[in-house]
Amino acid sequence: MGEAFVGDDLVLVNMDETAVQHEQGPRPGNVVGLTRREMEAAGAFFHKSGKASRAHTTLAAFVCDDNALQKHLPQVFIPSYASLSGPEKDAFSTLAAPLEVWRDSNGWVNTSSMMRLLTRLRQCVRAHRPTARILLILDAASQHVCNKVLVHAAQLQIFLLLIPGQLTWLMQILDVRVFSGLKRRYSDLQASTRGASPTGTLPPASWVVDIGRAVREIVVDTEWSAAFPEYGVQLGRDGVASRLANFMPSVADTPSRRLTDEEFKVLLGRHRVNVDRRFLNGPQNLILRREALAAELARGRGVGRGRARGRGGRRGGGR
């Protein structure tokens, strides 16, 4: 970051997916010493649909270090749209931007949907910060690092910073900080919705309204800029979360160099030959272009001084 993006208008973005159950399970709490029949008679028994609790929709979320831009980043629901009920489809259609639902999806993020997510991210940043370079932090899930996705990211000029395999629990901002709060809020909203129901059951499609409200409150309207340095997206160790700093060497102990294929195997969790160029060529090209521009400017200043001296000599001789 310190070499490739020095002086650039840079926006840091973290992306991840999570599965959202259509009906959340019960939260831990006090145990009521009543039988099922007694709870039903008292109106205190909440029925939970087995089908709804098994059904899920994928949420692909983005957070960034620009609090103004955060309010515009797309937050994308990717359901198995064909299997949704009519009321659920109607409820999804009422969600306002930046929340959106993809109607041609099957409930999972695959290669094509990942490429589409990158395109949506680029469109959003270009609309609100047209000069910014995008540094996208994401984990090594297979749908994130397949060749088509990496090529597409390069074409969009999105630079990728990869969280090493098996370290999402430590460094993935969305996974560690955002999704836990999101699902707590969603669970609380569903509990309130269920409590307002005379039968203790969730009204049809109410989960869409509840998760939409939770995403807007926790992801869209919350400022996440402070989380980036805390989780190591910076130079140095100042401000880094203590549990992460314990694993980080000092910058002086980590000289800049290209990783080997074996090191990338550890990083990705799988063996990929020559994958390093997909991550390193873009930043390296920025450095080379910056060095070439500096050299050209230096040559231009030298030529300008030479011409000025030459004109001065001729004027002196003429007089």
Question: pLDDT of 78-127, one tens digit each?
Answer: 999 999 999 999 999 999 999 999 999 989 999 999 999 999 999 999 99
The pLDDT score that the predictor gives to residue 317 is: 42
Q: For the segment 6-27, what is each residue's pLDDT rounded down to a tens digit?
A: 778 899 999 999 999 999 865 5
Q: Could you tell me which residues are beta bridge partners of residue 64?
A: 13
Q: Are 57 and 77 in contact (CB under 8 A)?
A: yes
Q: Distance between CA 191 and CA 311 in Å, rounded?
A: 84
User: Does pLDDT of 187 surpass 70?
Assistant: yes
pLDDT band at 282 (very low <50, low <70, confident <90, very high): low
Over 44-62, what HEC string results?
CCCCCCHHHHHCEEEEEEE
Q: Distance between CA 248 and CA 230 in Å, rounded?
A: 12
Tokens of 203: 């009204």
For the residues 154-171, what does the mean pLDDT come to?
Answer: 85
Tokens of 59: 């949420």
Please report, rounded to a whole number, the percentage of residues in the chain having pLDDT higher than 90: 46
Find the farthest-apart pair of alpha carbons in the chain and give their distance in angstroms, rounded.
115
Number of other residues whose CB lies within 10 A of the CB of residue 254: 9
Tokens 């009321």 belong to which residue? 87
User: Does pLDDT of 138 surpass 50?
Assistant: yes
CB half-sphere exposure, 138, CA atoms < 13 A = 26
Q: Is 7 helix (H, G, I), strand (E, B) or coil?
A: coil
The pLDDT score that the predictor gives to residue 133 is: 93
The reported pTM is 0.77
E strand or H helix at 91, and its extent?
helix 86-93
